[in-house]
Structure 1
């Protein structure tokens, strides 16, 4: 409970929003200025590359196949078996997720809602709730983007990141290519070194990418600007190499991952995050809800590089 000393009255705050900054209703525009946020790129890219399973639920086995080929001297007759197929599995665990919010519409009747709610209209018809749902969807996309890369179920603080183990934690648990040797005086030089540190049979594949955060990408842009190279896309080729880079929000904080897209497997019911809202007569509130799921697993970790600038 807050006190408005200017008007000598109490201001009640309930549930999902704070209305103390809204004046007593006069007239106002119907559009809210929505807070700027980042959005997701990784899941869409993996989906396009066939590395995201939109039907995955629970625990899923990803079948892996390798072969050991031994070339023998064929000058003599006979058959001598040597080498063969190596079969293994990786486990993709899907975590069910949800977002629930609740709003008391009565709190807005003396302010914003009075101008929007017409006779006979339901509270869920107000544009205000569609604005909330749209912003929720964008923010959920960003949280999922960060979870894909930096999720860690070992975290103790309240955070979306503790819902799943992301690629970075799982990569670091295996025999990955350590990119700590990617040094240089500029970000350009560091990224060139990242490319050279990756095994030649990995970095020459069509689906090989060097994933960087938007922060590292901005530093890279600044380096190239000094060379009078401008208007760089967020997906392109690192100058001086044939290696392709991708800038994603989930790696902000100086993280760099070099991998083939096929080695970054993921799944869940979340290619489209839709929110639904309804008015509840039971408790006189508007509820907003969404359910989805997500899981990731790196495969052939020895082909994946990780480092931090």
Structure 2
């Protein structure tokens, strides 16, 4: 007589490998660090010293000394916000739904079989959240969002006497970016560290337009077609945001060179705890040299 298996559920094997959801990459902090605009030791409130001058060239046909003009010293403040991630997992919850063969009754779990996958995913998500905070952070936002933790560049730029690039219009992204460049003061856009910062969505439109013109596609760090202006593609500016600025005018700091996770099993409540601590702050300086607009 054969087996009667009608009372048994269909067998389902439990794969050990996770397919992690796609997450955008973070670029801004790395680029700021490479440009010397990120201080990895900054804590609390830190002043940034600024230097300008009102140089006066005088008539030198006569003897004598007549003082005119001189150095102008000022400062701005970088405020670094302490941030953290705390998560908690009950391993016993898994006994009902997952990895029955891995979990044994009465076992003390000093690790979770897929904690490395969670840490990898959360590290990438944290990087993306920080990327967005750098540009779009706003401490007046309410609700559950990371953006409310700091004031990002755009909010601070718009609070000052910035260069409004809303007049940089055109029928194509190429034309708009060309006008963005032309709208910036020549002494700013001629600087070696001047960049037009755009989102990946704007860059994709830009590349598509170049393709329609049978021009070679551009890399994600290149020169705006028809200009000498270099651009940078940053996921924090997705949504049509465009910022035209020198790197030196975008200052940032914080302790976050390695946003890593620490995990441990707590015998007090039988839960697995996960935590990470870091800090971040940004401040634009000489806002009158920075341009901003939305091109989409």
Q: TM-score range by the shorter chain?
A: over 0.9
Query: Are 1:43 and 2:33 an aligned pair?
Result: no
Alignment of 1:7-18 (within 5 A): none
Counterpart position of 1:273: 259
Q: Deviations over 1:224-283 (max 9, x none)?
A: 011123442111100000101111111111110000001000000112210111111111
Secondary structure of the corresponding residue to residue 151 of structure 2: coil
Identify which of 19, 26, 49 aligns with 1:63: 49
What is the match of residue 4 of structure 2? none
RMSD across aligned positions (CA): 2.0
For residues 25 and 304 of structure 1, the distance between their equivalents in structure 2, rounded to whole angstroms, comes to: 62
1:69 alignment partner, SS class: coil
Match in the other structure for 1:158: 144
Q: Is the 8 A contact 2:111 2:272 kept in 1?
A: no
The separation in 2 between residues aligned to 1:248 and 1:116, in whole angstroms, is: 42
Separation of aligned partners in 1, 2:280 and 2:11: 43
Structure 2: which 5+ residue stretches go unaligned?
1-6
Q: Deviations over 1:49-97 (max 9, x none)?
A: 1101111111000000011111111111111111000000010001100
Structure 2 length-normalised TM: 0.92
Counterpart position of 1:17: none
Unaligned stretches of 5+ in structure 1?
A: 1-6, 8-22
1:10 is matched with none
Alignment equivalent of 2:169, drawn from 174, 183, 186: 183
Cα separation, partners in 2 of 1:25 and 1:92, compared to 1, 3 Å: farther
- Measured after TM superposition, the shift of residue 117 of structure 1 is 5.2
- Helix, strand or coil at the partner of 1:152: coil
- Counterpart secondary structure, 1:148: helix
Ranges of 4+ aligned residues in structure 1 off by more than 6 Å: 118-122
Normalising by structure 1, report the TM-score.
0.89
Q: Distance in 1 between matches of 2:240 and 2:125?
A: 21
The answer (yes or no) to whether the contact 2:14–2:99 under 8 Å persists in 1 is no
Aligned to 1:297: 283
Paired residues in the alignment total 288
Q: Deviations over 1:76-128 (max 9, x none)?
A: 11111110000000100011000111000011134433344589997354441
